[in-house]
Amino acid sequence: MVVNSVQTITDVPQSVSGSKSISKDDFLKILVTQLKYQNPLDPLKPDELLVQLAQLTEVEKLQNLENLLEEMKGLLKGQDVSGWANLIGKKVMCDDTVLSKGDEVSLTPVVDFDQIILAVSDVNDGNIKTITFEKGDTLVYRHEDDNDVKISVAALKNGKLVECGMNVFRTVRGLVSDNGKMYFVFSNGQKYSTESIKEIRE
């Protein structure tokens, strides 16, 4: 950038002289100041002006890139992404009643029981099938169908309902960051906060 005038330029922004980098606004102010104080007998040529405007565009692009990198750094701040990524393909326990292919549910009777009945409802067509577990059975159901299902459980003792819980384990298929938080993504695209995970299985 060449300025032929011997006048002292006093209105260049302070941030330019005191900073290692300038913003696009500072760059534009310098350009305007140069045009204001240019030699009338030897004005800035159009091609030189275009070059400087192109430089302004580059400054803006670099600043936008810097802003994007800062935003990404903010999103990942405090998140051990590589650690979370190691959980892809594993099962995590979450408060849910939906199962996708490969997900599991562990039934947890609170008191003695004769039977546990798991109702499995297809989310697409509403068809319901029931799976009965007798005392001594392994109280785990693994969903192998392609369609997602909703599940509910009931336990019986002497023909009467007794309390029974369940722990749902869903398979992690991916990770996504949203508003500074990390989420697991399940097979059906559903997101679940990593902060809410209670247990991890292979």
Q: Which residues contact 139 (CB under 8 A, 6 or more apart)?
A: 106, 107, 108, 109, 116, 133
CA angle (165, 171, 172) in 5-degree steps: 125
Give dist(CA 152, CA 165) in Å, integer.
9
Neighbours of 127 (CB within 10 A): 10
* Overall residue count recorded for the chain in this entry: 202
Q: Which residues contact 28 (CB under 8 A, 6 or more apart)?
A: 56
Q: Which residues contact 91 (CB under 8 A, 6 or more apart)?
A: 103, 104, 169, 170, 171, 172, 200, 201, 202
Per-residue pLDDT of the chain (202 residues; tens, 9 = 90+): 444 444 444 444 444 444 455 666 776 777 677 766 666 666 666 666 666 666 666 766 667 666 655 654 554 454 556 666 778 888 988 889 999 999 999 999 999 999 999 999 999 999 999 999 998 999 999 999 999 999 999 999 999 999 999 999 999 998 888 887 888 899 898 988 887 777 887 7
Specify the pLDDT at position 33: 77
Specify the pLDDT at position 12: 47
Q: Which two tokens stand for residue 165?
A: 């819980």
**DSSP calls for 11-25:** -S-HHHHT-SS--HH
Specify the pLDDT at position 196: 78
Specify the pLDDT at position 46: 63
The DSSP code for 107 is: E
Run of H or E including 116: strand 115-122
Which among 67, 56, 72, 69 is positioned nearest to 22, based on CA atoms? 56
